[in-house]
Amino acid sequence: MGTELQYSINCNGRLMDLDVPRVMGILNVTPDSFYAESRKQTEKDIMERTRQMVEEGAHIIDIGACSTRPGADCPDEKEEIRRLRIALQPLRKAYPDVVVSVDTFRASVARMCVEEYNADIINDISGGQFDNEMFDTVAQLGVPYILTHTKGTPDHMQDHPHYNDLMHELLTYFAEKVQQLRDRGQKDIIIDPGFGFGKSLDHNYLLLQKMEQLKLLELPVLVGCSRKRMIYNLLGITPEQSLNGTSVVNTIALTKGANILRVHDVKAAKECIDIYCKTISSIADKD
């Protein structure tokens, strides 16, 4: 339901069906993520946030220990691992069956999270561009990989990004990267068009408008627009005021073929999916 193609991913031996769109809840174990309410650094706060997202219907918990907002200062590898251990150890003990994604661009960090804590998915905002060992590593680990389109690095990616043809560049990028991954034996690949990563406000809305073109790649699509600049700058508000705008963008993304919504607000995203799926089901029944 919700897409013309049917997808599933293998999460440590458990198949997750993506025919019905899924919610990925964001767990930031950083001191500087752009949305202050998402920052959780103590074990107590981390577990409370996880419990809330699970109870609200999150299908995946995405843990990030290195902020990739434009202009962010990135911690070194040792600090990123320290932060992730604080989250992963109690989370895995309390919620052993929850599907866990780790948001990292470092191959060594990805390996640690999978081998020591059975992380199910690796979410790499760099598409393998920041660590040339990432593609080999995820293929060896055998976990699903989220391949993101990013133009530039977080400290400069919003400095006047330019495209001659946005969708052509994205499709070419993904086709080349997917082939590189397939050549290494990577099985499950999810593509993330990278809203806000090296894209102006107009680029982001053009991407949203034409997102269905990504179906040409015949891979599941993740959309992460939650409380981002493309919403709050357009509306002249703050990230804290951007839930309604996020729900609107997420609903549009669902109509364009999104299989996973990566969000700060799980309950609202789940409601978007439930209403969208009911609408699609009603249309199908009528036909």
Known catalytic residues are 228, 262
- Annotate 136-160 with DSSP letters as a single string: HHHHHHT--EEEE---S-TTTTTSS
Q: What number of residues does the chain have?
A: 287
Smallest CA-to-CA distance from 154 within 73, 264, 39 is with 73
The alpha carbon torsion through 223, 124, 119, 66 (nearest 10 deg) reads -100
The Cα–Cα gap between 275 and 265 comes to 16
Give me the residues paired with residue 228 across strands. Answer: none
Q: What is the bridge-based pairing of β-strands 8-11 and 14-17?
A: antiparallel
The Cα–Cα gap between 195 and 202 comes to 11
Residue 93 corresponds to which tokens in the numbers above?
Answer: 């003990």
Dihedrals phi, psi of 10, to nearest 5 degrees: -95, 110
User: Where does residue 69 rank: exposed (0-12), middle (13-18), buried (19+ CB within 10 A)?
Assistant: middle
